Chain A
Amino acid sequence: MINIFAITFNLLLSVLMLALITWFEQEEIKITVINQEHQEDIKKLQKIVQINSWLKDVVQPMIKVQPSSSEEANEYLIKYFDENFIDYNLLIKKYLYEDEGVKNIDLSYKINTNDIDKLIGFVKMEYKNGFLEFKELTMDDKGLTGVFQLIQPYQEDDNASN
């Protein structure tokens, strides 16, 4: 009789353990799916952290220094011209004009290729308040000539943007 009890107990235990194994397997599948989702979320968040860092270090400082009005934007462009027109023989190609919420000015330049310092300075030149877009560049034995455009974004007030 003890044997029968033991056999019954063993069989019951087997059934319970099989049920437990099935439960473990189902839970494992659930946890694996959740883990994968969490991993993907972590990757997304890590990417967001990187983007945030980039926004904080690069983009937002640039936005902060943008002029707050169209007039101020004009002043920035004019100031740039005045600071550089002698070094790079800048000439006004197209005077201040507006395009999709930014102020622009097109400038031509001419640099002697023998003046290495100026050449390097020109190549490294940045427009910290906005963007500098080259339109044309020609280099020959006479020198470096061409046209570039200065783009000056500015903070539009709410009424203007609406």
Chain B
Amino acid sequence: MAAETSAVPAQRHEHPSATLASRAARYLAALFIIVSLNFLLPRLMPGDPLMNLVGEEGYYAAGGALDELRSELGLDEPLPVQYGRYLRGLLSGDWGYSYLYLRPVRDAIALHLRWTLALVLPSIIIAALLAAVLGGLAAWRRGSRTDIGLSAGNLLVYAMPHYWLAMLLLFVFSFRLGWFPLGRATSGGATDLPYLLDVGWHMLLPLVVITAFKATYDFLIVRNSVVSILGEDYVLMAQAKGLSAASVLFRHVLRNALAPLVTVTAIQFGMVLSGALLVEVVFSWPGMGTLIYDAIGARDYPLLQAAFLIIAVCVLLANFIADVLYPLLDPRTR
């Protein structure tokens, strides 16, 4: 979305606030479509959410009580009525009740979202920084052993399924070497600084996997972007002025090569979140991945709706931020 709206230079000079409002309107329209799809898609899947609510063996024993329960949860109402109730609930901040967690959806998500953000946000930032530095370096020394080594290494990691990489790291560093725990987020019992250190110890391996997953993709984007810029006159000018290589690369070249990285980061935000799903399962990390994984199995409509909505909003927000940042990074697109 960011690439679509920003890659083409503006043809008319609109007032900045009007442009922003127009973009916001488009994002709102996208949000409405997403909200509607979020409602519809889980209901298209076969299966009965009540089975999870009363348990497999309780399901057959419940008899008529199931109908009462279905009515109580509004699952026997026509879809348009359920949709209307869902929209009203969203607007009033009521996201419904989770059949799986048997608590308000907001509470269930609050327990898990922070763990996913704790994992994903640092991963995205570290991956972007790594990609910028290593991608820039590889491009600057294109054709050299550094470039070949970095590019080959990136392609190797990029080609690995990230859950497989997660299993590999778990096996080597946790099981064989015993340097890290076999998953989960804490050892329990600690508070304050020891607690944070303990969480960091548990977080490191999943963080490495998600960072690697994102950084290897970004690396190629940055490398190609830098290579395309290196032939520009202003780069030659900077070199002619006698600036050091590092200064030319980091102050002049990378600055102009960052715009595609911002776009890709925004577009990839959803992919990183979904990629974290399987990594979370491998590392028994109590984040949104395990929540969504369980909610799909249980056909927990309200929880699925809310989880996907949060992810969609995060992606839209990331794209919106990219839209706002892009003109700052590249004045030609203002």
Do A and B pair up? The answer is: no
